[in-house]
Structures are given as C-alpha cells and as structure tokens.
Amino acid sequence: MQITLEETSWDDPVGVRLRADQERETIERYGADLELGPKPSGGDVSVFLMAAEGRSGEPVGCGALRRLDSESFEVKRMYVVPEWRGRRIGEVLLRALERYAADAGAVIMRLETGAEQPEAIRLYERCGYYRIDRFGHYADCAASICYERKLID
C-alpha cells in the first residue's frame, strides 16, 4: 500500500467531507460537539494535508496545522477513515505536519484529543508525544487530553 499526501485548500470538497465525517464520528462518541473555542478555518490554518491511497486515489485521511505562536503549531483535524485505520496513515500525516512546522520555524507541536479516542492516544504516544496540562480553550474540558512534542532537542 502506498499513501500519497497532497497539500490542498481548506475548502477542497473532499477535505470538507473528511472533516464532516470526523466531526460526525466525534459527536457520536461524546454525544455532543465538545470543541471549545474557534473552529479551524481557511483563514487560520497554515496547511491542510489530505492522504490518499496511491493507486486508487481514494481519500483516506487528513490533518492540518494552526499556528499558536512563533514557536508552536497545533495539530487540527487529524482523521483517518475508519476502514483505513491501523495502517500507519495517521503517522504518515503527523510526520508530514511536523516537517511543515519545523520548516516554518516551529520547535513545538501541540494537540488535543479526547479521552474516548484510544486509537488517537496510541498514535500520538507512539509518535513521541507526551501528555501536558490542558491548554488554551481545552483547559476546563475534562474530556480533553493534551499532548506536546518538541521538534528540536
């Protein structure tokens, strides 16, 4: 299996569909949309990547970055289509986002995931992210788990 990545517009129709699927799945897990603060948008996302299966071109996942400050980015809208999970697609996306962030001068990656998303927790911990105190808009959300990874040691 070969995965291809493409940097695309936030408004790309396939990306819009993938993010809608991600949001729907999250609401099903938690019974509500628990995202606090401003949702990412084309105006504040620095890069949006989509992953596709190499031969068929079938969209299999996506991920984005939003700059937090001069040294850090936040991972947003990481999503892998359920039937494609377990094939390291999330890791491919995450590593590509890290390269983009490092090239843009960032030294820290941060992210938030939910306590009811064990596959996301496994991905982030396997990729070297460690838990931190909830930050920003997630500070008071008990369902949130926040992670960080330093891009430069």
Quick one: three-class SS letters along 56-82? CCCEEEEEEEEEEECCEEEEEEEEECH
Mean pLDDT of 117-125: 95
How many other C-beta atoms can be found within 10 angstroms of the C-beta atom of residue 31? 8
Beta-bridge partners for 61? 51, 80
Domain ranges of the chain: 3-150
Res 36: pLDDT: 80
pLDDT at 37: 83
Structure-block tokens of residue 100: 């983009």
1 pLDDT band (50/70/90 cuts)? confident
Instruction: Grade residue 153 by pLDDT with cuts at 50, 70 and 90.
Output: low
For the domain spanning 3-150, the CATH number is 3.40.630.30
Mean pLDDT of the chain: 95
Query: In the numeric block, which tokens belong to residue 85?
Result: 């999970």
